[in-house]
Amino acid sequence: MEVRDIIPDLLNREETLALGGVARPYTEEEESARIRNEVLSVDGIYVTPSEAPIAYGDKTCQQVLEELRTRPQQRIYLYGGWSNGMTLWVNIIQASLPETLALNQIKVKDIKTGLQASDRPPIFYDYRSDFDSLSGWKDMVRQKGLQLSPQEYEELTLADLLLKVGGAPTRWTLMVTVTGKDEPLCPPTTSVPFPGSQYGNGFIACYLKPVFKQGVFEKPICNTTGSRAVDSIALANLLVRLRHDPKTAIEVYIEDARRRREQMLKRGGKAPYTVEEAERYAASFVESQEPIVEEIRQILSRYEKREIEGFQYAVNIISHKSLPIAVYKIPSVRPYCFVKKRGWEVAVEK
């Protein structure tokens, strides 16, 4: 198997449909406008605002898949984590919940149910924060003075959580399941804002035969989930580098940074970095990707295309001023790469 068999080309609009999605209780018009103006251009997906994204609204997973079937592109790229309802279905919930559940109605307890599913992918973020009581949703709920019982907390939708606490947690724990046991894969991310360089992480998840309640979806789906927006930006650029040469990845890094900076200034805010800083960081960041690119190529070369149904690869990320500056392999003593054949198996072992 080669990289192009499983990694989408984010720069090829005819091949890949890139989707951001916000499962929040806005009207369809408000949600669609928000996605066009912010998600696709600010958060590191290389899609222009003029391209029409999908507005999730109160659609179910099945309704979204039916719409994706009508799109001409043969590959789907899902950007982001907890706020993208389709990412939650692909990476956690899968076939464990009824297909009538609307994406903006996914609850904390639904994530818990999904994490208990036997065929759930092994790498995931702990959105429940059961493993780190000092961060995550529970801590944000407490900071807002909301008195919720454990039962009330489990009944909250992720959309409600966002509206109640005013934003996403600044720290996540990246988890992995080995031999049926969930455990942290990396240390928790650093908080934002954080003086100096920031530590984050994230993972690539690709599925040649994604499985949902109603069966196998015929188009491959790839997702990158980072602990924060800057980590997702880093992962998207890594996908670009996997399908293109370093020069192209550098150019895309700089162009995305310039576009994000312009939007920050248009909204009346301050940009944390200059274009010159982005240009200086770009080559160094892309150079840091090379060991990962080489290893992913080597891993995939060991398999025939028809052997693999899924692929996961986690990385550590260093960022500064909302710009990724380096991405690193996780030490081989930890299980950071998996392939799915008949089931999930570790692809890199010490």
Check residue 160 and give its pLDDT: 79
Which helix (H) or strand (E) segment is 181 a member of? strand 181-184
Kindly report, residue by residue over 265-307, the tens digit of the pLDDT.
887 778 889 999 999 999 999 999 999 999 999 999 999 988 9
Q: What is the DSSP string of 218-252?
A: SS-EEEEEESSHHHHHHHHHHHHHHHS-HHHHHHH
- pLDDT tens-digit series, residues 113-144: 888 888 889 999 887 766 665 567 777 788 78
**Residue 39 structure tokens:** 């998600």
Give the separation between CA 219 and CA 76, rounded to whole angstroms.
Answer: 7
As beta bridge partners, residue 174 has 125
Q: How confident is the model at residue 35 (pLDDT cuts 50, 70, 90)?
A: very low
Instruction: Break the chain into its structural domains and give their ranges.
Output: 3-101+197-346
What does the pLDDT look like over 216-226, one tens digit per residue? 999 999 999 99
Q: What pLDDT, on the 0 to 100 scale, is given for residue 43?
A: 41
What radius of gyration, in Å, describes the C-alpha atoms of the chain? 19
The number of C-alpha atoms within 13 Å of 30 and in the hemisphere containing its C-beta is 7
